[in-house]
A and B are shown apart, each in its own frame.
Chain A
């Protein structure tokens, strides 16, 4: 019975696929926990830095703002930093980030702007290479670092800052996926340079009147570049949490689909087997009757 054997083979192969997707789901769940922890413990620094920046920027009124805050006064040249994962098999995670970046690039190009793309993570580069290969200026490989550390974010920020100092771009936007929950990741485009400072909430008293040492402007000069690193770091952490979340739900779906397929194939296999037995019986019985 060739057909029976074929079915049996398929069932075995689907079962082993299911084992793999199940294991990948477990791994993603464990990694997700780590990634979420890292994102949570990075939050205090980012929050405090932001509140410091808000109070500094508010105190700066009227005076000349640093270039990182004010921008270069033009928006002709754009740098898009596209942060994606290093690995696939995580649902629409990588492709949705790449798609958002591609749309933005398309829009800017249509407006006659210059676009440069800096890819962080292999998958984003692979997705953008074909259509925007000539715009990609560099690619940062993070596959070597198992857990994202601040030292991974710093070189990226440094690169952007030195390019800005050399006036190679006017506006820098960072694309990443914000982690909302295991099921939802929100693709976010965040403007890095010039820095976007959240407006103070209406009616909020300017609480404390700080002394500054050295002057506000000098502090901002120190603070703004670091803020870029912190924002990049935050984005990378959000991204890694999102990636694991996306992989977890993708693998969960895959495991479920494999289960359904196994059920269907098993049913078919049993039917075929029963049919084979029945036809054998008929042969025997009709053979006996003929005697």
Chain B
């Protein structure tokens, strides 16, 4: 068995995940990169996207993060994300419905503040849908 890289996924509210994997692919702001044991120390900004966890050649788990930071050192990767959702927990139908609702909210918005919030909400949902992809 190959050496493992341990990953901590932390959100401001709690420690979401702490486990060891063979390979983790994270969505860096300047392109995805994969982390395995012995990776060079790096601090990177993440864009909204999916963290893929690989066991051998198969993708074991996918987690959506809405941006954040990753720090790699000593066979250990720490991901700071404000929001993280297992892709498996997402439901395509539900998301599409919510995007449609958000689009309606934008139409109905009476002032800029409300419109901006609705737009943010819609963008966020679309990112989630993309993650399902």
A interface residues with partner B (beta carbon < 8 Å) = 38, 41-42, 44-46, 48-49, 52, 55-56, 149-150, 153, 207-214, 218-219, 222-223, 226, 229-230, 233
Given contacts A48-B71, A213-B28, A213-B30, contact A233 B12 (CB under 8 A): yes
Chain B: interface residue total (CB-CB under 8 A):
24
- B interface residues (Cβ-Cβ under 8 A, vs A): 8, 10-15, 28-30, 33, 40-45, 69, 71, 73-74, 78, 80, 82
The 8 closest A-B CB pairs, nearest first, are A41-B14, A211-B42, A213-B44, A150-B12, A208-B41, A45-B10, A210-B41, A208-B73
| Chain A residue at minimum C-beta to C-beta distance from B29 | A214
The answer, among B10, B45, B73, B78, for a CB contact under 8 Å with A213, is: B45
Q: Are A209 and B41 in contact, CB atoms less than 8 angstroms apart?
A: yes
Query: What are the residues of chain B within 8 A of A41 when measuring CB–CB?
Result: 13-15
Question: Given contacts A44-B15, A210-B43, are A49 and B80 in contact (CB under 8 A)?
Answer: yes
Bound together, the chains give a CA A123 to CA B41 distance in angstroms of: 47
**Closest chain B residue, CB of each to CB of A230:** B12
How many angstroms between the C-alpha atoms of A207 and B74 in the bound complex? Answer: 10
Nearest Cβ in chain A — how far from B27, in angstroms?
12
Do A212 and B43 contact each other (CB < 8 Å), given the known contacts A49-B80, A150-B82, A223-B69? yes
User: Which of B12, B69, B74 is packed against the most chain A CB atoms within 10 Å?
Assistant: B12
Taking the closest CB of chain B, its distance from the CB of A32, in whole angstroms, is 18
Q: How far is the CB of A213 from chain B (nearest CB, A)?
A: 4
A56 contacts B13, C-beta separation under 8 Å: no
9 contacts between A and B (CB under 8 A): A38-B13, A209-B41, A210-B41, A212-B42, A212-B43, A213-B28, A213-B29, A219-B43, A233-B12
Contacts of A223 in B (CB 8 A): 69
